[in-house]
A and B are shown apart, each in its own frame.
Chain A
Amino acid sequence: MNFSNIDFNAMNFVTNLKYMGVGMLGIFIVMGVIILAVYGLGALFNKSEKNKNKKDS
């Protein structure tokens, strides 16, 4: 058994918590932008399709 590729250092957990904060914040920002984009798409195209359907009928 080779343990050479495991090097325990508990402090790394604390040091790298910043990546967790930035990473989660980043995902929420990107998903937030996507949500806004989807609302924008809906407002733009769902409405125009509704109007088209009304005209057709």
Chain B
Amino acid sequence: MFDFLYTSFEALTWQQVVMWVIGGLLIFLAIKKEMEPTLLLPLGFGTILVNLPFSGAIGGEGPLTVLFNAGIANELFPLILFIGIGAMIDFGPVLSNPKLMLFGAAAQFGIFFTMCLASMFFPLNDAAAIGIIGAADGPTAISVAIKLNSQFLGPIMVAAYSYMALVPIIQPPVIKALTTKKERLIRMPYRPGNVSKVTKIMFPIVITLVAGLVAPSSVALVGFLMFGNLIRECGVLNSLSETAQKVLANLVTIFLGLTIASQMQAEQFLQPSTLLILGLGLFAFIFDTAGGVLFAKFLNLFLKEKINPMIGAAGISAFPMSGRVVHKLGLEEDPDNFLLMQSIGVNVSGQIASVIAGGLILTFFM
């Protein structure tokens, strides 16, 4: 008669307990270390939720499965989140110095290099989805992984968001290893250009047109990002822009985190492939950083007015952490060397480049 009291205990496996620990760790990192708390907290709690024996949260009518089908399987949640991200970004620094966008392109090297590395272990669609962890851009990683029908959505998302939060730890040693003290001391005076309001309004429209024509698969990603930016810059939708930046982005992130957790079931997650994916994701971030720094060093061979190669590292799209990391490293070397505006400019161009990289990968493999 009281079987129901211990049926669940009997069905509990050690793997599920390990997943509780992982869920607890994610919650700890979110609260104690403030690592991407908006995402890691729901993800951690969801991980515990789906790893209970006979969990009603998943399965045919389970709310997380319903949410997954409604918002993740069709990429709706990441795309809506992009509206919020687009509304958060001020493209002013990059519009006043468009050349900075080249660093955004160079810093996508890690994506493609990691994809090649991952292809030694996984089928090409999964390898491409793993490589896109290097986009340092959660929604792009999720969108690409879903569209490529990757079986590793859970580990890819955990890696993407964890490493984004770890940018201040991952990037400095790579930057220091690839640059000399003399290079890190290079000053880059900031000369703000005059960017008109019309230019700021036209920019998201033109980017959508260019990206849509060159890489049609990227048009949903780029389009939603740029739509968010258009709301911000048009000047007549300020309350909508604020809603997109805060309420909309936060709401979608809650659902995104909880829903992705439905992919964190013990039998799927506790595999050697997960560890391998986490390792490859780290490689992607390292090679992205290296790509940006080395490209800046390469340009310095030809430029009269040298570039501080550290700003190349900000080309990964972890916004705004990466820009701040570079600025802080500059100040460590020379307290009067302010690289913030340049590094933020490179950082926002990395946001555009990572989305385009995602679109190109989709063009290759869909």
Q: Which of A's residues lie within 8 Å of B, judged by CB?
A: 1-3, 5-10, 12-13, 15-17, 19-20, 22-24, 26-35, 37-39, 41-42, 45-46, 48-50
Return B53 CB to nearest CB of chain A, in Å. Answer: 20
Q: Which residues of A contact B193 (CB under 8 A)?
A: 42, 46
Return A4 CB to nearest CB of chain B, in Å. Answer: 9
Return B189 CB to nearest CB of chain A, in Å. Answer: 20
Asked whether B127 lies within 8 Å of A24 as measured between CB atoms, the reply is: no
Q: Which residues of B contact A12 (CB under 8 A)?
A: 116, 119-120, 124, 127
Of the listed residues B105, B193, B210, B273, the one surrounded by the most CB atoms of chain A closer than 10 A to its CB is: B105
Chain A residue at minimum C-beta to C-beta distance from B207: A34
Q: Which residues of A contact B276 (CB under 8 A)?
A: 6
**Interface segment, one of B29-37, B59-67, B164-172, B351-359:** B351-359
For this complex, into which size category does the number of interface residues on chain B fall? 35 or more
Of the listed residues A13, A19, A34, A50, the one surrounded by the most CB atoms of chain B closer than 10 A to its CB is: A34
Interface of B, helix, strand, loop or mixed by DSSP: helix
Return B283 CB to nearest CB of chain A, in Å. Answer: 13
Asked whether B198 lies within 8 Å of A49 as measured between CB atoms, the reply is: yes
Q: When the two chains form the complex, which single residue of A3, A8, A34 contacts B352, counting CB atoms closer than 8 Å? A: A34
- Report Cα–Cα, A45/B352, bound state, in Å: 22
Chain A residue at minimum C-beta to C-beta distance from B267: A2
Asked whether A42 lies within 8 Å of B199 as measured between CB atoms, the reply is: yes
**Further 7 A-B residue pairs, CB within 8 A, beyond A23-B364, A34-B211:** A1-B271, A19-B115, A30-B211, A30-B214, A42-B98, A42-B195, A49-B196
Asked whether A16 lies within 8 Å of B127 as measured between CB atoms, the reply is: yes
Asked whether B117 lies within 8 Å of A13 as measured between CB atoms, the reply is: yes
- Report Cα–Cα, A22/B206, bound state, in Å: 24
**Interface segment, one of B44-52, B106-114, B229-237, B256-264:** B106-114
Q: Which residues of B contact A49 (CB under 8 A)?
A: 194, 196-198
- Report Cα–Cα, A46/B120, bound state, in Å: 50
Asked whether A33 lies within 8 Å of B116 as measured between CB atoms, the reply is: no
Asked whether B199 lies within 8 Å of A24 as measured between CB atoms, the reply is: no
Return B187 CB to nearest CB of chain A, in Å. Answer: 24
Asked whether A37 lies within 8 Å of B199 as measured between CB atoms, the reply is: no
Which residues between 322 and 366 of chain B lie within 8 Å of chain A, taking CB atoms? Answer: 349, 352-353, 356-357, 360-361, 364
Asked whether A41 lies within 8 Å of B151 as measured between CB atoms, the reply is: no
Asked whether B214 lies within 8 Å of A41 as measured between CB atoms, the reply is: no
Asked whether A31 lies within 8 Å of B101 as measured between CB atoms, the reply is: yes
- Given contact pairs A1-B271, A42-B193, A30 touches B356 in the complex (Cβ within 8 A): yes
Q: Which residues of A contact B18 (CB under 8 A)?
A: none
Asked whether B210 lies within 8 Å of A37 as measured between CB atoms, the reply is: yes
Chain A residue at minimum C-beta to C-beta distance from B113: A20
Chain A residue at minimum C-beta to C-beta distance from B354: A27
Q: Which residues of A contact B99 (CB under 8 A)?
A: 35
Asked whether B357 lies within 8 Å of A23 as measured between CB atoms, the reply is: yes
B95 sits at the interface (CB 8 A): yes
Q: Which 7 pairs of residues, A with B, have the shortest CB-CB distance?
A: A20-B112, A49-B196, A45-B198, A38-B98, A31-B105, A12-B119, A23-B112
A-B contact pairs, 9 of them (CB 8 A): A1-B271, A5-B151, A8-B120, A23-B112, A30-B356, A30-B360, A31-B105, A41-B199, A49-B198
- Report Cα–Cα, A33/B215, bound state, in Å: 12
- Report Cα–Cα, A24/B360, bound state, in Å: 10
Chain A residue at minimum C-beta to C-beta distance from B359: A30
Return A45 CB to nearest CB of chain B, in Å. Answer: 4
